Structure 1
Amino acid sequence: MMILTALQKQIGFNDSERALADYILNNREKVLDYSIQSLSQNTFTSTSTIVRFCRKIGLKGYKDFKIKWSAELQKEYNAITNVNPDFPFTEDDSYKEIQKKILELFTESLQKTHSINSNESMEEAVDLLLKARRIGIFAYGDTYLPALNFQNKMMKIDMPVQLSVLPGENRHLAANFGKEDCAIILSYSGESKNNYFITNILKKNHACIIVVSANPDSHIASLADLILPVAKSESKSVKLSTFSSQIAIDYILNTLYGCIFVANYEKNQAKRIESETLLLNDRFDS
């Protein structure tokens, strides 16, 4: 019988053993760091009671318990699947389980997003951005953080990306874009009223539009010159946080940056080295 099953069923346990089992279940990872004396103190039981308890569930002793309990926990964590992207963890999850669930959520989102993007679409996006007189990125709400991250990276290779800061300013920015400019629209749902209004302005001005969205059939996507899809996993209703969508959009933007960097690798590498050298010298001078 597995240790977890024995601890949960508590068949034939006396009061002290039930209390010990409950404590272990509520402190699954923590007990792995305990000596038998520490566990004894925390559960108000004797070390001999702990040894008898371990033997009752089919183990040689406390050391054997720690080894097999650690392996069992690891197996359980590795078996966590089908994480709900809207509510990936609950109040009953341990820190280790939360780590595993977030990792799985990120991995699944990244793999799905990678699989639905072709080399051709990425090449086209890079070509459009490199040819553009100006580049702008338009984001609203949670997508603003990946946009800011992209702007920061592009600035460091001397490719400024315009991103509005003040509320409502993005509409004025869109109005100033024309046919020689390229705009990236970030909209997970593809149905944001604010972004749809901006995309319409850009379309009327004949600006090139790249839409990053999980909904290629959306109103915003219908106005795009190019769509870079992201994995669709989160619902439109209430969610704990935008874990999947943010990591997927960040992945697309980081990939764009990487491809743009490689398109002029020597120049961009020299620019980064020069910038870092200047900053390093400035730190030493000051």
Structure 2
Amino acid sequence: MLLIDKLRIKDGLTDTEKRIADYILQHLAEIPSLNVETIAKHTYTSHSSVIRLAKKMGYDGFKNFRFGIAEMAHSQMFHPAFVDANFPFASTDPTEDILKKMADLTISTIHKTRAQMNNAIMEQAAETIEKAQRVFLFALGDSQIRARSFQNKLVKINKYLIVADEYGDDAWNAANLCPNDCAIFITYRGKNAQYQKILKHLTSIGVPSIVITGNPKAKISKLANLAIVASHDELDFLKVGTFSSQVAFEYILDALFALMYAKEYQKNIVELRRKQQLLEQGILSEYPREE
């Protein structure tokens, strides 16, 4: 989870530490040049309270904590304007503002998702999918649309993905999975009880699994071999749409496809040209040439 999210969520912080966190969020541009004494003075707290907050945020001391804040402040300066992921526009907004806000939300979502990505985990996930004989993707609702998009891309590199939840066959597909297959789960909340059951079963028989979620505390993540977490400020139900989460999922899946494609880049380019010629000029073309 990003530092700015930890400070906003304030999970596990005391009232004193919450006051310090609020002060930092309200004075991002100033904090990097301040010391412990100044922060303690303005928040009516003590030096030890500031140090404790730094350690709870994952830093060994205030100096590194301040560096983290400096990076966060710099990032905020160059990010698009903040947009509420749940209600990104209002009824009174003119067309120009709505278009700008949706663009800002999309851009900031991708930047934030990228900042949370672990390169090693992404590489392992791409390799797991590439090695699998069959790929089963479990996803519902809007996330299943992202699954369809990923399925369409994989066809381009001769990899075929099965949408496991289609026609309500998730349990049957789970029962058919083998250790040489791979299972991918996309769930923003990460609270799907059926997915947890399926993952426990897959773990027991040695099927590689990947979870893509927006919940850093999701139990489902601990059941999988690999977890890709993209945490955003999107509520479970009270929202206009699943804009932020779906942009994040689409970006993650696109990135996985790109990693797979790049691994066999020259081979894929050669195959692309061969198939393109077949589709445009060969027997599979829409308007084949007369003999």
TM over 0.5: yes
Distance 1:90 1:174 in 2: 43
C-alpha spacing 1:180/1:99, structure 2 compared with 1 (3 Å): same
Displacement of 1:237 after TM fit? 2.5
Q: Which residue of 1 aligns with 2:49?
A: none
Kept after mapping to 2: 8 A contact 1:80/1:100: no
C-alpha spacing 1:191/1:139, structure 2 compared with 1 (3 Å): same
Kept after mapping to 1: 8 A contact 2:178/2:205: yes
1:175 corresponds to 2:214: no
Distance 1:80 1:255 in 2: 22
Q: Which residue of 1 aligns with 2:58?
A: none
Comparing 202-211 with 86-95, greater Cα deviation is found at: 202-211
SS in 1 for 2:189: coil
Q: Which residue of 1 aligns with 2:189?
A: 189
Within the candidate set 277, 285, 288, 1:285 is matched to 288
C-alpha spacing 1:204/1:167, structure 2 compared with 1 (3 Å): farther
Q: Which residue of 2 aligns with 1:65?
A: none
Could you report, residue by residue, the CA deviation over 1:121-162 in whole angstroms, capped at 9, with x for unpaired residues?
Answer: 111112212222221111111100111000110011101111
Distance 2:116 2:244 in 1: 15
C-alpha spacing 1:121/1:95, structure 2 compared with 1 (3 Å): same
Could you report, residue by residue, the CA deviation over 1:157-204 in whole angstroms, capped at 9, with x for unpaired residues?
Answer: 101111136332122111111222111110111112343333233223
> Structure 2 counterpart of 1:283, which letter?
E
SS in 1 for 2:197: helix
Mapping of residues 99-178 of structure 1, within 5 Å: 99-164=99-164, 166-178=166-178
1:271 corresponds to 2:274: no
SS in 2 for 1:240: coil
Mapping of residues 223-238 of structure 1, within 5 Å: 223-238=223-238
Distance 1:95 1:195 in 2: 41
Kept after mapping to 1: 8 A contact 2:80/2:107: no
C-alpha spacing 1:154/1:80, structure 2 compared with 1 (3 Å): closer
Distance 1:157 1:127 in 2: 14
Q: Which residue of 1 aligns with 2:22?
A: none
Distance 1:256 1:223 in 2: 21
SS in 2 for 1:258: helix
Could you report, residue by residue, the CA deviation over 1:214-255 in whole angstroms, capped at 9, with x for unpaired residues?
Answer: 113212112111111113220112211100000100000000
SS in 2 for 1:123: helix
Distance 2:288 2:184 in 1: 40
Distance 1:139 1:200 in 2: 17
Distance 2:93 2:101 in 1: 10
Distance 1:195 1:233 in 2: 23
Report the identity percentage.
Answer: 32
Kept after mapping to 2: 8 A contact 1:216/1:227: no
Comparing 223-232 with 197-206, greater Cα deviation is found at: 197-206
Q: Which residue of 2 aligns with 1:61?
A: none
- TM-score w.r.t. the length of structure 2 is 0.67
C-alpha spacing 1:228/1:80, structure 2 compared with 1 (3 Å): closer
Q: Which residue of 1 aligns with 2:198?
A: 198
> Structure 2 counterpart of 1:114, which letter?
R
- Is there any run of 5+ residues in structure 2 with no aligned partner, and where? 1-78
- Is there any run of 5+ residues in structure 1 with no aligned partner, and where? 1-78
Distance 1:165 1:275 in 2: 31
SS in 1 for 2:126: helix
- TM-score w.r.t. the length of structure 1 is 0.68
Displacement of 1:270 after TM fit? 1.9
Distance 1:226 1:192 in 2: 17
Kept after mapping to 1: 8 A contact 2:80/2:108: no
Kept after mapping to 1: 8 A contact 2:140/2:165: no
Q: Which residue of 2 aligns with 1:18?
A: none
Distance 1:223 1:163 in 2: 20
Q: Which residue of 1 aligns with 2:244?
A: 244
